[in-house]
Structure 1
Amino acid sequence: MPAASLQRVPEVDAVPHWTRVSLDDRVFAELVRLVKENCGIALSDMKRTMLETRLRRRLMVNDIADFGAYAAFLRSDRGKREEMQFFVDAVVTNQTSFFRELNHFEHLTPAELKRLAKEGNDGTLKIWSAACSSGEEAWSLAMIADEASRGGTEFPWKILATDISIRILTAARDAIYTVEDVAAVPERLRQAYLMRSRDPDDRRVKVAPELRRNVRFGQINLMDADYRPGSGMDVIFCRNVLIYFEPDVQLQVVAKLCRHLRPGGLLILGHSDTVRSKALPLRLIRGNIYERLREAPR
């Protein structure tokens, strides 16, 4: 009886191909250019591994063989239309926390917020969180605005929260955090504005409806030629974002922010941000808190 013939079983590669492809110098430089063009962010060579890791999922989702083909796709009309936002979401770093850089919030006392509202265009306190990330900054501002206004009875208030990332804006709008996330929120504000589940094992909290009614979210890319958040803002927060831009881009961004800040209003930058230009209509008050002047100092 003839021996049964043995068929060779093809080897199955259990490791997806996109986990093995690497990012060479030429393609890395091309992706860095795309990041700068679309986000204004200047990536150093030290970010190569980060970029490679975050974009591997986009290769998988789009069934693209390598990073070179992905860069070419981003340059195409279809890629700009369908993939560019996902690319931006993947490469932008979002890091924030409740009441981060506390001295800025301490400056915005109830008396200061009331003054800013009274001196504004229509008596409504208008605050813009210009790089809100996952929302902690905007909700921190909402808490102190609502407390200072006694629930809006002394003066109405509104907050606009924007970011370049659609993904992170969705999380910010949901306004759901963990108990650990809100540890820095003062106890009185946690009691007043954060809701716990009745399930003791559920460690999530949600921002109260009275705050959510007065905060709206939208996408703004600070690299855009013009912004449309409305004019006459009393306070603009744009913190720890400028450090990712080159100096000329930093000045362009701050100049555009100033167009939407009323004279006497406050521009609040992060502790790592610097503004060094006499051409800007700003006067330093303290700790990267600037007052908008009617015209640039001479």
Structure 2
Amino acid sequence: MAALRKPNPEGTEVIPAWTRVQLADAAFATLVRLVRESCGVAMSDFKKTMLETRLRRRLQATGLESFEAYVALLQKPEGWREEGQNFVDAVVTNETSFFRERAHFDHFTPAEVERLLKNGDGRGLHVWSAAASSGQEAYTMAMVLDSLSEGATRFDWSVLATDISVKVLRMAREAVYRSEDVAPVPPALLDRYVLRSRDEASGTVRIAPELRQRVHFGQLNLMHAEYKPKRTMDVIFCRNVLIYFEPAVQEQVVSKLARHVRPGGLLILGHSDSLRTKTLPLRLVGNNIYERLGDR
């Protein structure tokens, strides 16, 4: 809730201090470093206004009256423990949609699913959405898998969805979206997997429970030295997030992800991403879809 502007005893309006402060260059430089160290995201000078706008809300929430005071808070161990996650949630960009980059989901034809099952454990497919944001990517893949598996009767399936932001993971778990958000969902899947609210005026929908129960969520920072999913994955999505990282970090992230794809499985990057190294055991099969090479 925005702070109320109250008149002072003389009757003039008192504007809250957090709305008036400016982000000085020195504080911006420190914040850019903290963003890079905590999230891996590289920020140019052009992002100063964006960062100032997003973090001004954190000044309001913390009651601090300057960005310098906020920087000082983040640089203290106890301050980071208290505010670090809120800082990360504020600065990361979360942009996603249902059936975004449709060609990636069209790749999962019955023949391709059969290949993945044959080269895997033969019992099911396990997919990881490694930068899941508010869940649209994970639920899109859930629709595709449930449809192809005929309600998990032909083969078992599961989706793991992770993100650095606790805020968007809460939204993803809730699985409630605006009616216009599901416009890209094909009609047959929309009728089957998207529930309209009983309150039509709310303009919201919710993903069906048979999908929600097979999509599992967890927080993961791609900057961590190791990723620890409980199993090797048949398919990993990590789309349109590498572009925010510096080249060296991009290579590190892809290398770590590749270790969690089983041979014959797929690593799917976004159309705006690029794979800069040729030393990884990955073979391009189309549309930024890579097959993991190795013993089968």
TM bin, normalised by shorter chain, reads over 0.9
How far apart, CA to CA, are the structure 2 residues paired with 1:84 and 1:9?
Answer: 38
Matched letter for residue 146 of structure 1: D
Tell which deviates more after alignment, 103-112 or 185-194. 103-112
Which residue in the other structure is 1:88 paired with? 88
How far apart, CA to CA, are the structure 2 residues paired with 1:130 and 1:93?
Answer: 15
> 1:140-289 alignment to 2 at 5 Å?
140-289=140-289
Tell which deviates more after alignment, 22-31 or 12-21. 12-21
**RMSD (Å), alpha carbons:** 1.5
How far apart, CA to CA, are the structure 1 residues paired with 2:22 and 2:193?
Answer: 47
1:242-266 per-residue CA deviation (whole Å, 9 max, x = no partner) reads 0000000000000000111001100
1:21-71 per-residue CA deviation (whole Å, 9 max, x = no partner) reads 100111100000000000000011111011001101111111112111111
Matched letter for residue 54 of structure 2: R
> 1:97-108 alignment to 2 at 5 Å?
97-108=97-108
How far apart, CA to CA, are the structure 1 residues paired with 2:97 and 2:165?
Answer: 17
Which residue in the other structure is 2:5 paired with? none
SS in 1 for 2:201: coil
Which residue in the other structure is 1:113 paired with? 113
How far apart, CA to CA, are the structure 1 residues paired with 2:12 and 2:114?
Answer: 68
Matched letter for residue 172 of structure 1: A
Pairwise CA distance, 1:206? 0.6
> 1:41-52 alignment to 2 at 5 Å?
41-52=41-52
Alpha-carbon contact 1:114-1:149 (below 8 Å) kept: no
SS in 2 for 1:54: helix
The share of aligned pairs that are identical, in percent, is: 60
Which residue in the other structure is 2:31 paired with? 31
How far apart, CA to CA, are the structure 2 residues paired with 1:162 and 1:27?
Answer: 31
Number of residues of Structure 1 aligned to a counterpart in Structure 2: 288
- Provide structure 2 residue ranges, at least 5 long, that are not aligned to the other structure: 1-7
Alpha-carbon contact 1:21-1:66 (below 8 Å) kept: yes
How far apart, CA to CA, are the structure 2 residues paired with 1:66 and 1:117?
Answer: 56
1:77-117 per-residue CA deviation (whole Å, 9 max, x = no partner) reads 11111100000000001000000000101111233123213
1:158-215 per-residue CA deviation (whole Å, 9 max, x = no partner) reads 0000000000000011001111000000000001101112333332111011101110
Alpha-carbon contact 1:121-1:232 (below 8 Å) kept: no
How far apart, CA to CA, are the structure 2 residues paired with 1:176 and 1:285?
Answer: 34
TM-score by length of 1: 0.93
Alpha-carbon contact 1:124-1:155 (below 8 Å) kept: yes
Matched letter for residue 136 of structure 1: Q
How far apart, CA to CA, are the structure 1 residues paired with 2:119 and 2:203?
Answer: 41
SS in 2 for 1:83: helix
How far apart, CA to CA, are the structure 1 residues paired with 2:22 and 2:9?
Answer: 29
Alpha-carbon contact 1:22-1:52 (below 8 Å) kept: yes
Pairwise CA distance, 1:72? 1.2
SS in 2 for 1:271: coil
Which residue in the other structure is 1:138 paired with? 138
How far apart, CA to CA, are the structure 2 residues paired with 1:211 and 1:150?
Answer: 12
TM-score by length of 2: 0.94
How far apart, CA to CA, are the structure 1 residues paired with 2:243 and 2:199?
Answer: 42
SS in 1 for 2:277: coil
SS in 2 for 1:243: helix
Pairwise CA distance, 1:12? 5.0
How far apart, CA to CA, are the structure 1 residues paired with 2:78 and 2:86?
Answer: 13
Pairwise CA distance, 1:122? 5.5
How far apart, CA to CA, are the structure 2 residues paired with 1:279 and 1:105?
Answer: 27
